[in-house]
């Protein structure tokens, strides 16, 4: 954990002189330094110390950007040229921000896997709560699937690799961590892509640690993003790690179709892509399915396998969904995908109604709290000072 808290000073000081309302991401192209006056803490110790802090406390001395950079140069030369992204948590109540921060640090600080975004450090003080991540040059998957014609640029073989990488990351959280980690918010916006378009699962603000021998997880309110959330999260059913499997299945449908499961750009659209896909699969009309989705004939085998896996993942009953390690093997073709059952038989009303609407109705009717890390915004780049230009420091506001 020696890398934890590496960039806290830089993060805090840059933010103080350039306050921006909303979620802020700093991208530092020339890396960061471990300053001798900042002592790296273990995750457990950091969380324990944070909870002891009085509300008005400050753990860092405010400095200007110029002072920070001068201090960096006096300490050590910039090393490794590692770009980083800094996520500043703003826009909610203090309690929610603190809960999101502790969720991310307590989960990501305990993990290390190729398909998970790496947490380099963090800052927690009265004026700033921020997380320092590795920077993903190709952004989030949703930007490539849903915006303009970017989705067509990524071939289906690469999309399969992205799906496998995402499944590998979730499998690690569920089955390989000392304590199982349930993410609760698997969706395209939380899958980041590096320079090789390798998938990295990110945003653990809703994640929760649980013991492996626990049969279910205690919930205090709804979590996740409507449209990806499993049925048991908005009904009085026990909740397990299989809710992430369901969300991955919904993500897989969007990878296959290179479109959102509900086309929000069409007025009064009630066509739900997963049910439409099931109808085509059940009627053996995959050729028509592929034509509509713009899929070439050479990709038929891959798409059929991905569709079958998606149907297995979104089964209504959690116990009928596969483990994520099995999902990885099925996607890779290492094991045969079993013939899926119809996952939508429980939708007894108009079968074309999106389940995300049903989810909203269920939560609103029950008076429960819905939590989501979803941010529907457009990024803009803020011009910086000559010093920022020199050190390739860019501020991106969401």
Catalytic residues: 185
Could you please report the per-residue DSSP string of 76-135?
----TT--EEEEE--SS-HHHHHHHHHHHHHHHTT---TTB--EEEEEEETTEEEEEEE-
Residues 6+ apart with CB under 8 A from 143: 150
Helix, strand, coil % over all residues of the chain, rounded to 5 = 40, 15, 45
Crossing angle of helices 300-313/273-282, nearest 10°?
120
Could you please report the per-residue DSSP string of 23-85?
-EEEEETT-----TTSPP--HHHHHHHHHHS-TT--SS----HHHHHHHHHHH----TT--EE
**For residue 327, how many other CB atoms are within 10 A of its CB?**
27
Q: Are strands 370-371 and 222-223 parallel, antiparallel or unpaired?
A: parallel
């Amino acid at each position: 954990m020696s890398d934890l808290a590496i960039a806290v000073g830089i993060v805090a000081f840059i933010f103080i002189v350039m306050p921006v309302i909303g979620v802020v991401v700093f991208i530092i192209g020339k890396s960061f330094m471990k300053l001798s006056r900042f002592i790296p803490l273990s995750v457990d110790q950091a969380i324990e110390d944070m909870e002891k802090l009085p509300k008005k406390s400050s753990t860092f001395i405010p400095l200007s950007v110029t002072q920070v950079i001068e201090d960096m140069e006096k300490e050590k030369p910039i090393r490794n040229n590692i770009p980083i992204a800094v996520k500043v948590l703003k826009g909610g109540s203090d309690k929610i921000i603190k809960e999101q921060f502790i969720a991310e640090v307590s989960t990501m600080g305990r993990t290390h896997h190729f398909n998970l975004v790496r947490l380099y450090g963090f800052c927690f003080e009265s004026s700033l709560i921020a997380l320092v991540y590795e920077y993903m040059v190709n952004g989030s998957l949703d930007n490539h699937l849903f915006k303009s014609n970017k989705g067509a640029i990524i071939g289906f073989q690469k999309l399969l690799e992205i799906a496998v990488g995402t499944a590998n990351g979730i499998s690690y959280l569920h089955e390989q961590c000392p304590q199982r980690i349930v993410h609760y918010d698997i969706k395209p916006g939380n899958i980041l892509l590096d320079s090789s378009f390798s998938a990295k699962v990110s945003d653990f603000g809703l994640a929760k640690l649980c013991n492996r021998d626990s049969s279910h997880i205690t919930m205090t309110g709804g979590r996740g993003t409507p449209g990806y959330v499993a049925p048991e999260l908005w009904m009085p059913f026990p909740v397990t790690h299989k809710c992430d499997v369901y969300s991955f299945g919904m993500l897989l449908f969007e990878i296959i179709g290179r479109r959102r499961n509900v086309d929000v750009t069409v007025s009064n659209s009630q066509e739900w892509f997963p049910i439409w896909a099931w109808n085509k699969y059940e009627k053996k009309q995959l050729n028509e399915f592929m034509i509509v989705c713009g899929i070439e004939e050479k990709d038929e085998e891959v798409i059929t396998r991905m569709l079958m896996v998606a149907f297995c993942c979104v089964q209504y009953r959690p116990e009928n969904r596969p483990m994520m390690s099995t999902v990885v093997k099925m996607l890779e073709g290492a094991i045969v995908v079993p013939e899926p059952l119809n996952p939508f038989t429980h939708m007894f009303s108009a079968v074309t109604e999106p389940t995300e609407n049903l989810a909203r109705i269920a939560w609103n009717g029950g008076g429960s709290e819905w939590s989501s890390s979803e941010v529907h915004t457009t990024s803009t780049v803020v011009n910086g000072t000559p010093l920022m230009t020199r050190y390739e420091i860019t501020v991106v506001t969401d």
